[in-house]
A and B are shown apart, each in its own frame.
Chain A
């Protein structure tokens, strides 16, 4: 039973990583840049939702929508001002700019909302219960976990459909394969990439709300560590692969919890990263990543 409980904890942690990783992988897959500010967009989304619900008493659903709207706008503005001028620049330059944006968001949040932690309200309660208890309360599944997993699957399916079937989605895939050729085929590359950021940032808002519902302490640095872990998860599953992000996130969460439970709470991070290295050695492009052949 404890094993099952740990598995459930692992899945609930993993589903959070997965939902963040989906946003990461989406942006990476198309714009080919590591958006280190993604974690901080998550934080902004969580703050917006917190203020909407806890301070201005808006219904939670409206709070989430508002957070999505603000994050989408933020994503577009960041992209327009900081990343778009660097479209032709080496990818490392964009990486550093993203780090600058990350610092900017963190410090801006601290000035706006102070450094005192806020406790995020839990929306996912039924009759004052935060979860389902099975087998005389020995097994616990929280509603947040169920919602997060459902959200992950829905987002994953939606993204797969979007990139596979719609015109915009096809344009995105074209840009990711060859920007030059896409341009020649009449695709507006700039608009497509901006759109990717808008979607990625909107997803970040959902991730932020779910992250803070599961682990309710909200500070300006809330997004940074989960962001890095989710990035790891995205690579684990094969960066750029949408189902890979889901799988990578879930596995990372489960491994982390099992490492804590059965090896050592002190060395759990070392174990997680050790497993990651071994997996990458066996499958150098991640679990579900495409191995691209190099042409001469």
Chain B
């Protein structure tokens, strides 16, 4: 009897839930169809949407992109001319949630998209972008699969394989080392992508990879084994294709062991100096290839860093700068194409494809950026070295 009663209650709850759902749908439905079908009354701004991990373990990257893009949108809207309406939805660094978030954005009336912040979710949402013909420009999802086979998804960041081979090339050109160790994250697309091309390129350039070890989620606190493997095999340089959170642990533990090789990072390493409480002397001499330098003297960067600090109290990393650039790249492309906010996502998509494959863009993360038809960006990474707790350009 009780069970049945519970059942009836459950059914009532479902109904009320369905009713709630229906109520919610009502106002959003016209909004969803309006920008796509005909000119909306309020359609004075381009609706720009993106998904990223705003909560959970990868939240720092999603929030950086969110704030970076918000700053750009505020600046552009204040200038008059092209107006943006920005919405970032949380995907908790998960492909399933990212598709949900993407669909929520579609209901909101997203016309152009920032795709997703992290690689695996971006692979899932970019497939949706392609199917729906909504143009996507991801600030930071760097895997090959994000853009592969999709003519309307573009990247603002370097592609992983490019980073891997560029790093090997850089080491060879500067004769940094002949024996190299790699420590990479075994369950991460980003890390894996860079690792694979790095190892292949290193073999070509006669750089010997003497130690190749991994770590994974839940196994990312103790690096003593990886480090001593590198040490006993005589690696002069340790390549760290990873984000800076585990890297900071690696530096601390290596210092504890008294192991001091040359360190070489990729763009995910950027941000390590702004870690609160981090002993920057540990990162002394770390070399990294990154397109963005928050300490740059250039006026645009300075103003961006100031605004970002005012907004969040933190120093922007490369993710924030890439997102900022994305919004400005959209502005440039939309202006050049003469696009208006009453256009459908599909119309905008065709215009954007035409623009992005032909235009040249100058931003915080590089001068003279161009895009190939496959969606990858061409910009030159800057070699940076950390000296006295600050990034210093190498070239």
A binding-site residues for B, Cβ under 8 Å: 2, 5-6, 9, 12-13, 50, 54, 107, 110, 114-121, 130-131, 133, 137, 140, 142, 214-217, 219-221, 225-226, 228-229, 256-257, 260-261, 265-266, 268-269
0 or 1 for each of B51-62: is its CB under 8 Å from A? (1 = yes) = 000011101100
Q: Are A119 and B224 in contact (CB under 8 A)?
A: no
0 or 1 for each of B228-269: is its CB under 8 Å from A? (1 = yes) = 110010000000000001101100100111100000000000
Q: How far is the CA of A110 from the CA of B59 in the complex (A)?
A: 9
- Assess A221 versus B276: contact at CB under 8 Å? Given A117-B248, A257-B225, A265-B215: no
Instruction: Please give the distance in Å from B55's CB to the nearest CB on chain A.
Output: 6
Instruction: Please give the distance in Å from A80's CB to the nearest CB on chain B.
Output: 27
The yes or no answer to B188 lying at the interface (CB within 8 A) is no
Q: Are B222 and A119 in contact (CB under 8 A)?
A: no
For A116, the closest partner residue in chain B by CB is: B60
The yes or no answer to B9 lying at the interface (CB within 8 A) is no
Most buried by B among A116, A133, A257: A116
Q: What are the 7 A-B residue pairs with the smallest beta carbon separation, nearest first? A: A115-B59, A119-B277, A9-B224, A225-B218, A215-B221, A260-B225, A119-B278
The interface residues of chain A lying within 8 Å CB-to-CB of B142 are none
Most buried by A among B225, B275, B279: B225
The yes or no answer to B96 lying at the interface (CB within 8 A) is no
Instruction: Please give the distance in Å from A198's CB to the nearest CB on chain B.
Output: 28
Q: How far is the CA of A63 from the CA of B335 in the complex (A)?
A: 56
Q: Are B55 and A110 in contact (CB under 8 A)?
A: yes
Q: How far is the CA of A217 from the CA of B186 in the complex (A)?
A: 20
Interface contacts beyond A54-B277, A119-B279, A257-B222: sample of 5 additional A-B pairs, CB < 8 Å, sorted by A: A2-B232, A9-B222, A115-B55, A219-B57, A261-B229
Instruction: Please give the distance in Å from B95's CB to the nearest CB on chain A.
Output: 19
The interface residues of chain A lying within 8 Å CB-to-CB of B226 are 260, 265
Q: Are B245 and A117 in contact (CB under 8 A)?
A: yes
Instruction: Please give the distance in Å from A56's CB to the nearest CB on chain B.
Output: 13
Instruction: Please give the distance in Å from A262's CB to the nearest CB on chain B.
Output: 9
Q: Are B249 and A217 in contact (CB under 8 A)?
A: yes
Q: How far is the CA of A130 from the CA of B252 in the complex (A)?
A: 10
- Assess A215 versus B214: contact at CB under 8 Å? Given A54-B277, A142-B256: no
B binding-site residues for A, Cβ under 8 Å: 55-57, 59-60, 63, 186, 213-219, 221-222, 224-226, 228-229, 232, 245-246, 248-249, 252, 255-258, 275-279, 312, 314
Contact partner of B221 among A133, A226, A266, CB < 8 A? A226
The interface residues of chain A lying within 8 Å CB-to-CB of B246 are 217
Q: Are A268 and B219 in contact (CB under 8 A)?
A: yes
Instruction: Please give the distance in Å from B380's CB to the nearest CB on chain A.
Output: 29
For B253, the closest partner residue in chain A by CB is: A215
Most buried by B among A54, A216, A217, A268: A217
Contact partner of B258 among A119, A133, A257, A265, CB < 8 A? A133
For A118, the closest partner residue in chain B by CB is: B276
Q: Are B224 and A121 in contact (CB under 8 A)?
A: no
Q: Are B221 and A5 in contact (CB under 8 A)?
A: no
Q: How far is the CA of A89 from the CA of B246 in the complex (A)?
A: 41
Q: How far is the CA of A261 from the CA of B277 in the complex (A)?
A: 31
Q: Are B277 and A120 in contact (CB under 8 A)?
A: yes
Q: Are B257 and A140 in contact (CB under 8 A)?
A: yes
Instruction: Please give the distance in Å from B257's CB to the nearest CB on chain A.
Output: 6
The interface residues of chain B lying within 8 Å CB-to-CB of A6 are 224-225, 228
The interface residues of chain A lying within 8 Å CB-to-CB of B213 are 260, 265
Q: Are A117 and B275 in contact (CB under 8 A)?
A: yes
Instruction: Please give the distance in Å from A133's CB to the nearest CB on chain B.
Output: 7
Q: How far is the CA of A114 from the CA of B47 in the complex (A)?
A: 27
The interface residues of chain B lying within 8 Å CB-to-CB of A119 are 248, 275-279
Most buried by B among A119, A226, A266: A119
Instruction: Please give the distance in Å from A30's CB to the nearest CB on chain B.
Output: 28
The interface residues of chain B lying within 8 Å CB-to-CB of A261 are 225, 228-229
Instruction: Please give the distance in Å from A115's CB to the nearest CB on chain B.
Output: 3
Instruction: Please give the distance in Å from A116's CB to the nearest CB on chain B.
Output: 5
Q: Are A265 and B225 in contact (CB under 8 A)?
A: yes
- Assess A215 versus B222: contact at CB under 8 Å? Given A2-B232, A116-B275, A265-B213: yes
Instruction: Please give the distance in Å from B290's CB to the nearest CB on chain A.
Output: 18
For B187, the closest partner residue in chain A by CB is: A266
The interface residues of chain A lying within 8 Å CB-to-CB of B278 are 119
The interface residues of chain A lying within 8 Å CB-to-CB of B252 are 216
The interface residues of chain B lying within 8 Å CB-to-CB of A110 are 55, 59
The interface residues of chain A lying within 8 Å CB-to-CB of B56 are 221
For A229, the closest partner residue in chain B by CB is: B218
The interface residues of chain B lying within 8 Å CB-to-CB of A114 are 63, 312, 314
Can you list 18 A-B contacts (CB < 8 A)?
A5-B224, A12-B222, A13-B222, A54-B276, A114-B314, A117-B248, A119-B248, A130-B256, A137-B258, A140-B257, A142-B256, A214-B221, A219-B57, A221-B56, A257-B224, A266-B186, A268-B219, A269-B218
Q: How far is the CA of A5 from the CA of B224 in the complex (A)?
A: 9
The interface residues of chain B lying within 8 Å CB-to-CB of A214 are 221
The interface residues of chain A lying within 8 Å CB-to-CB of B60 are 115-117, 219
- Assess A118 versus B219: contact at CB under 8 Å? Given A130-B256, A217-B245: no
For B226, the closest partner residue in chain A by CB is: A265
The interface residues of chain A lying within 8 Å CB-to-CB of B276 are 54, 116-119
